[in-house]
């Protein structure tokens, strides 16, 4: 069983981006807790399958963060389903999920799936534009989303997504203060050990993405946050 409670540090690989075998080996053998595979655009069955089979050579949990139905393929250790709560488009709350269950529910092992209550906060990110997220939120807004996710939806994970930029620590704190059992996952702009440490002081899990492709050495340094 792969439990999100066990994950402190995660690398997120984008199937639409190139990564050499040597860099992939460094990432997979870095001591990180899991590899997430996910992205906002150009995510296809082919590139997800290709990346999954390459990551599979290493004994690290391989997790698909589902971006679209087409690329939701079997073979992963775990699946994360983002529900973007500050999107104005119901498709990104539950529409895609409803369609997926209609098509594939009969063969889904629900124990392998975890829903993430997503809140997207970088207005310039692809994910914010794609999902038409309202990123103009204050501390009360994010705290209310945290309560909604844990107290009402009862989700195991809240994901604060600043993809592409380093986030406002005080916003992450405002969410964390409301959460009791729900795990707080933070991703966005972590490109150094110092930033990794700062966010990991607040969040339960940190996700490191883009810097893998721009500065692999700094990416590898971030794993040191793990206890």
Helices (H), the chain: 21-28, 45-55, 90, 96-104, 126-131, 139-147, 169-176, 193-200, 211-214, 216-221
x/- letters, 11..50, toward ligand 1GP (CB under 6 A): -x--------------------------------------
Contact between 167 and ligand 1GP per CB under 6 A: no
Name residue, tokens 């269950």. Answer: 101
According to the binding rule CB under 6 A, does residue 209 interact with ligand 1GP? Answer: yes
Query: What end-to-end distance do the CA atoms of the chain give, in Å?
Result: 21
Residue 52 or 203: the one with the smaller Cβ distance to ligand 1GP is 203
Rank residues 174 and 212 by Cβ distance to ligand 1GP and give the closer one: 212
**Of residues 163 and 182, the one with the C-beta less far from ligand 1GP:** 163
82 binds ligand 1GP (CB under 6 A): no
Q: Are 44 and 70 in contact (CB under 8 A)?
A: yes
Q: Which is nearer to ligand 1GP, 44 or 108 (CB)?
A: 44
Q: Are 185 and 116 in contact (CB under 8 A)?
A: yes
Could you tell me if 132 and 87 are in contact, meaning their C-beta atoms sit under 8 angstroms apart?
Answer: yes
- Using CA atoms, how far apart are residues 223 and 94, in angstroms rounded to an integer? 33
- Assess 188 for contact with ligand 1GP (CB under 6 A): yes
Q: Minimum distance between the CB of residue 102 and ligand 1GP, rounded to whole angstroms?
A: 27
Residues that bind ligand 1GP (CB under 6 A): 12, 161, 163-164, 187-190, 207-211
């Amino acid at each position: 069983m792969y439990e999100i409670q066990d994950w402190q540090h995660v690398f997120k690989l984008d199937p639409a981006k190139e990564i050499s075998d040597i860099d992939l080996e460094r990432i997979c053998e870095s001591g990180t807790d899991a590899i997430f595979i996910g992205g906002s655009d150009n995510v296809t069955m082919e590139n997800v399958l290709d990346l999954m089979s390459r990551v599979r050579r290493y004994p690290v949990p391989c997790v698909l963060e589902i971006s679209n139905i087409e690329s939701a393929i079997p073979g992963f250790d775990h699946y994360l389903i983002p529900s973007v709560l500050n999107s104005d488009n119901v498709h990104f709350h539950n529409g895609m999920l409803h369609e997926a269950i209609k098509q594939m529910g009969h063969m889904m092992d629900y124990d392998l799936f975890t829903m993430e209550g997503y809140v997207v906060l970088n207005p310039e990110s692809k994910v914010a534009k794609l999902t038409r997220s309202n990123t103009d939120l204050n501390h009360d807004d994010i705290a209310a989303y945290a309560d909604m996710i844990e107290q009402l939806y009862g989700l195991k994970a809240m994901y604060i997504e600043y993809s592409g930029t380093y986030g406002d620590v005080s916003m992450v704190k405002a969410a964390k203060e409301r959460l009791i059992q729900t795990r707080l996952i933070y991703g966005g702009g972590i490109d150094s050990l110092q930033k990794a440490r700062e966010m990991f002081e607040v969040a339960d899990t940190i996700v490191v993405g883009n810097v893998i492709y721009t500065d692999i050495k700094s990416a590898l340094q971030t794993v040191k946050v793990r206890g």
